Amino acid sequence: MPAKKPLKKSVKAKSPSKKVVAKKPVASKKATPKKESAKKTSTKKITPKKTKATVKYEESQFLASIKPYALKKNEKYMNAKQKQHFLDILGSWKHQLQIEQDRTADKIQKNVSHFPDESDRATHEEEFTLELRTRERERKLLSKINESVEDLKASDYGYCASCGIEIGIRRLEARPTATRCIDCKTIEEIHERQQYG
């Protein structure tokens, strides 16, 4: 019988240790809300960076934002309202492209290319080359926009350069610098594919 008494004492000694273990998780629960509040503040810092990225100009977004011209029955093609509509489109497009050109020019002037690591320098130069290529493409587009504005003033805008028929309002809204109707453009693309493969 004396063997049973020591067992009861050891059980009593273990029960207080269980209470101590139960107190430890309570302390960790109090620390958890502090971590969550830290996470909330870090998410607030990320949000402004996303808004800066949306300010950047993209041609597809601009063309998609063009409000379609409301056609009326028996309306003459390329009347004063239609010309004004396309003049506004070309003007705002030109303005957007010039802003991007100026932004790139400022970036070139402020360019600091002193990178200690060669891979960082190579990455910077590659990004810079891609941006310059994009600006060169936009520079060519600016000259096409200027030609379209001159055609508008000379009443030649909206007519095919090859066959002379109407290009169409919807095609011009999709591509304001278009100079050929769909048929002539398709034939031109077929010839280019045959020539250059």
Which band of pLDDT confidence, cut at 50, 70 and 90, is reported for residue 57?
low
Outline which parts of the chain fall under CATH 1.20.120.910: 75-156
CA atoms within 13 A on the CB side of 138: 22
State the Cα–Cα distance between residues 83 and 75, nearest whole angstrom.
13
* 27 has pLDDT over 70: no
Q: Among residues of the chain, what percentage have pLDDT more than 90?
A: 40
Amino acid 146: pLDDT: 95
What lies within 8 Å, CB to CB, of 138 at 6+ separation is 97, 100, 101
pLDDT tens for 84-126 read 999 999 999 999 999 988 888 887 777 766 777 888 888 888 8
* 134 has pLDDT over 80: yes
Q: Give me the architecture of the 75-156 domain, per CATH.
A: Up-down Bundle (1.20)
The residue among 77 and 23 whose pLDDT is bigger is 77
Amino acid 175: pLDDT: 92
State the Cα–Cα distance between residues 156 and 179, nearest whole angstrom.
10
Amino acid 50: pLDDT: 39
State the Cα–Cα distance between residues 158 and 87, nearest whole angstrom.
12
